[in-house]
Structure 1
Amino acid sequence: MRVSEVIGRTLAGRGVEVFFGLVGSGNFSVVEALRAGGARFYSSRHECGAVSMADGYARASGEVGVCSVHQGPGFTNALTGLTEAAKNRTPLVLLAADTPPSALWSNFKLDQGALARTTGAIAERVRGPETAAEDAARALRRARVERRPVVLNIPIDLVERDLPDGEAPRERPELRAPRPAEGSVAAVADLLAASERPVIVAGRGAALSGAREALESLGERVGAILATSAMGHGLFAGSPYAVGIAGGFASPLAVELLGQADAVLAFGASLNHWTARHGRLFSSTANIAQVDLDEEAIGALHRADVGVVGDAGATARALAEELEGRGVQKTGFRTREVAREISARRWREEPYEDEGTAEFVDPRTFSIALDDLLPAERTVATDSGHFLGYPAMYLEVPDHHGFVFPNAFQSVGLGLACGIGAAVGRPERLAVAAVGDGGALMALGELETAARYRLPMVVAIYNDAAYGAEVHHFGPMGRSVDEARFPETDFAALARAAGAEGITVRSPEDLAPVKEWLGRRDGPLVIDAKVNPDVRAEWLEEAFRAH
């Protein structure tokens, strides 16, 4: 058996069913071997798109994302997507062809391990034919356990070599989440026992630990309202006491209620300046407790009065047990009046002046109309840019797997590929890639990818013919923003040229063809929404405070 074959069999044998990539001479054999092992391959048009597809797949499905690229430029093309995945702590394995150490003068020569570490990923390497199976198994395990991307560099002079007889990689035991220290639990319980208006803020760490049930149970005991960071959006979907996203995307009611809290419990949330609205979201007199597996994260970005090192779910259960033992049971925020107010004041119920014209649709009106049309079982993947708040505010999601938010690195251009990965990872749900015109043009090649695989997904393009964030940031200062504006792009025509369907929307009524498409779902539908470029997104005011 060749080295490439053992890598493919090892990964497929450990549950890899889907992988993404772009084939070059250096990774051809590995792709061929993994396909022979039974995994389905989806070929992108750019390596950054391939990694982002694997990232979106992992976030939507909960499985490890896997990707394969060529050495040298194939690897460097993947770096932006890899950095996003690393900053997000996405479990992902990047199978990267690599030049052999002996190839001193190869055009492809590059220290890929050093570059991988620079992005925050883990650098691994196939050391030789006799260790290939072990190396592949270790890369996959580290991605799962450490929840980080692992770059497995595979020297091209090894892939065709025969594997000597040897033992299969040994299986490692399954690990359990660590339980927090009793003293830390007691300190948070003291805080909650004295609280009258507690709030639970759950981030991606809480979502990854599967902590919803435990956090809701704890919230019920102490009378807490529930909120999430943007990365944890959807975790409390359907809960009557959930106020949605805390921070720049927070509704006016959420800002009001969160500001009244006398105790804030953050589970797997960094409480960065976006989530905490630059330190102004919570009262200066509120007690803050922060729970995280990473002790360095506690108190790093926001004041924390009590810190707990532990898994979010395990800590929530330990707290509930401690409070039950003390006989603590409180009403807190949980009154019928608060529940009614939360139900009646979602973002879509907040009044606004519709700024639609004969030429442009108001982006808020467009988002609400789209939300009404699409089925509840959906995965919404966003890009980055001025439009970013609208999908988060107005498009409902069924759970935390239903919201893919590739904004840990805040790069424009990753949303379309993440949406493709989500469509592959959760085919029973309608994938919606919500992107701006800038990001759509950056990733335009992947529109052909979606069409080639006939993925039944929606690509909703908020098209203001500009880099809107820059226009609305610098324009009010009196600066010229001509270089951030562009001629109008006809994305519906581009969609048809790529093999997808496309419609142009200038009013809610123009969305009528979506109903007919939903009955077929026989390929991607691109919605070119000509949004009013003069509408400034509500969340930008908070975002600009960081500059």
Structure 2
Amino acid sequence: MDGKTYTYQSIARAVLDQGIDTMFGLMGDANLFMVDHYVRNCGATFVPVSYEGSAVLMALAYSHVSGKMGVATVTHGPALTNCVTALTEGARGHIPMVLLAGDTPVMTPQNLQNIDQRELVKVTGAGFEQMRSAGTAAHDVAHAFFRARVEKRPIVLNMPADFMWQEAVHETKTFKAFKAPAYVPEGDDLDEAVGMIASARRPIILAGGGAVEARDKLVQLADRLEAPLATTLKAKGLFNDHPFNMDIFGTLSTPAAYEVIAKSDCLVCFGTSLHHFTTDRGALMKGKRIVQVNDTVTEVSKNFHADAALVADAGLTAGNIVYWLDEAEIPASGFTRELDMAALTAHPPARATTAKDGFVNFVHALDRLEEILPQNRILATDGGRFMTEVWCRITVPDPKSFLVTANFGSIGLGLQEALGAGFAAPNRPVVLFTGDGGFMMGGINEFNTAVRMKQDLVVIVCNDSAYGAEHIQFLDRSMDPGLAMFDWPSFADVATALGVKGVTVRSADELEAAIVEIENRTTPLLIELRLDPNDVPRMRI
């Protein structure tokens, strides 16, 4: 090199300046020199993917599991259009990450790959940041990171290719993100909320993904009220060790828990937008007072209009409510004394013998896998009709160890997020449950990445040889489901062909043999559960 500093070098150093030493991506003419410098000169790690959208998904999972910023990079045009679904998934999940996207040279608008990248990004709900010049590259990278943190969504930094070999003067830039919690409300709204809680005889404390950091304060409030605790899907595992943990609230509750929720007279909801899966389309809200606390004003009354709504920090507000309950000497509700928690949280078991020849009973398989999968696992799930039983029956250590790729309703995103989680927590095993359609759509190409990168990954393919949701709809209308059926290749054989272990499970006995393989694994492992498409539980959403 000639001793000069070029823009591609400044961009790579700027990412490292943010404390990020792992980047996911696929190289092209607009980002290859930046990636090369990031690896060879900055000593960082680059994880090459097979498909551009995979890089974004891996970065999203990396952010969620590690708490650090996930970073991905792709080149321009079709590379960015291949990221649309992944960016939408991240934006709707409020997951911060930065995508360094090349752009076609400003001076060659006739470039075949030219597209209005700002407009493309806009429709996904992600943010767009334009790199202004070679001289502002480091500042623009730092500002993209800042925006991702405070806006809680993906930010795409647009990098024109013709900037890369322009000279730059690198200056380390970092912008501190605001961490002060939202205010504690005062006045009539707070008085009204406290009054509803104080008068409740059967209150429940509900925590969503936005209240995970407030766990201890929510437990304090629940104990003060003698109220059970529950979570939305995204906060699954938050109250694992609490004696009055009802687990997931809503359509995924056990029948017994659903009955208790229906009897409740007050729900105190923290960090949740009260999605219609959580409320069972409003059915679980009837006959009770609803107090909603959320630090994001757009999430308050987004899906349901509460009786009292506070735009505030979850932990500070929970503590404040306890203070006023004590000041007014409000007695505890005693609700938890009425509850049989073992019965409340028990999902109906299955018998292995109910499956037809050539198939394994899905619920039995889940119950056995729950018993033997590594306890310190990270759990990732793809989309599909199998997923709700997985969410209910497979536990997680905490919400950060749980990846739900259902923010946009897409299938085919789970394997990529599982890989990102593996890089975020390299000393922990990752378990992915995916359907056959999802694995074929987005998993099979990146399973090769798992093999190349030697990930500690267990992939469980729930293969009913169908697109399950469509199969159900055809049957519900007494129509032939044949168009929703597929004769896939053996996924276990595909795994074996890629150089790792693949196991097919067609019976309870073969399931036990697969369990031995889980315990003895030394490489990524794929287990193919062969399921009867007419004997898979319906989705509970």
Q: Could you state the TM-score of these two structures normalised by the residue count of structure 1?
A: 0.93
Q: Give the equivalent residue in structure 2 for 1:296.
A: 298
- Give deviations 1:208-241, integer Å, cap 9, x for gaps: xx11111111111112211111122122222221
2-side partners of 1:516 and 1:255: how far apart? 36
1-side partners of 2:186 and 2:365: how far apart? 50
1-side partners of 2:439 and 2:174: how far apart? 45
Q: Which moved more, 1:392-401 or 1:16-25?
A: 16-25
Task: Return the match for 2:163 from 158, 162, 173.
Answer: 158
Shift of 1:295: 1.7
The DSSP-based 3-state class of the residue aligned with 1:234 is coil
CA contact (8 A) 1:500 1:524 kept: yes
Q: Which moved more, 1:321-330 or 1:361-370?
A: 321-330
Task: Count residues with an aligned counterpart.
Answer: 534
2-side partners of 1:359 and 1:516: how far apart? 20
Shift of 1:160: 1.8
* Unmatched segments (≥5 aa) in structure 2: none
CA contact (8 A) 1:267 1:290 kept: yes
CA contact (8 A) 2:414 2:434 kept: yes
Q: Give the equivalent residue in structure 1 for 2:24.
A: 20
Q: Give the equivalent residue in structure 2 for 1:485.
A: 485
5 Å matches for 1:370-381?
Answer: 370-381=369-380
- Does 2:178 align with 1:179? no
CA contact (8 A) 1:373 1:514 kept: no
2-side partners of 1:326 and 1:524: how far apart? 58
Task: Return the match for 1:130 from 115, 132, 135.
Answer: 135
Alpha-carbon spacing, 1:170–1:66, altered in 2? closer, same or farther (3 Å): closer
Shift of 1:516: 4.4
Shift of 1:129: 1.4
Alpha-carbon spacing, 1:64–1:347, altered in 2? closer, same or farther (3 Å): farther
What is the RMSD of the two structures over their aligned residues, measured on CA atoms? 1.9
Q: Give the equivalent residue in structure 2 for 1:452.
A: 452
The one-letter code of the counterpart of 2:6 is R
5 Å matches for 1:87-166?
Answer: 87-164=92-169
The DSSP-based 3-state class of the residue aligned with 1:274 is helix
Q: Could you state the TM-score of these two structures normalised by the residue count of structure 2?
A: 0.95
Percentage identity across aligned positions?
34
Q: Give the equivalent residue in structure 1 for 2:229.
A: 226
1-side partners of 2:16 and 2:386: how far apart? 39
CA contact (8 A) 2:143 2:175 kept: no
The one-letter code of the counterpart of 2:342 is S
CA contact (8 A) 1:7 1:33 kept: no
5 Å matches for 1:354-433?
Answer: 355-433=354-432
Alpha-carbon spacing, 1:322–1:32, altered in 2? closer, same or farther (3 Å): farther
Q: Which aligned runs of 4 or more in structure 1 are off by greater than 6 angstroms?
A: none
- Does 2:251 align with 1:252? no
Alpha-carbon spacing, 1:317–1:137, altered in 2? closer, same or farther (3 Å): same
CA contact (8 A) 2:150 2:177 kept: no
Q: Give the equivalent residue in structure 1 for 2:15.
A: 11
* Unmatched segments (≥5 aa) in structure 1: none
Shift of 1:109: 0.8
Shift of 1:536: 4.0
Q: Which moved more, 1:224-233 or 1:148-157?
A: 224-233
The one-letter code of the counterpart of 2:417 is C
Shift of 1:317: 2.2
CA contact (8 A) 1:369 1:508 kept: no
Q: Give the equivalent residue in structure 2 for 1:439.
A: 438
- Give deviations 1:102-135, integer Å, cap 9, x for gaps: 2221111111111112101010021111111110
2-side partners of 1:119 and 1:483: how far apart? 31
The DSSP-based 3-state class of the residue aligned with 1:499 is coil
Shift of 1:531: 1.5
2-side partners of 1:394 and 1:509: how far apart? 21
- Does 2:54 align with 1:49? yes
CA contact (8 A) 1:348 1:368 kept: no
- Does 2:491 align with 1:530? no
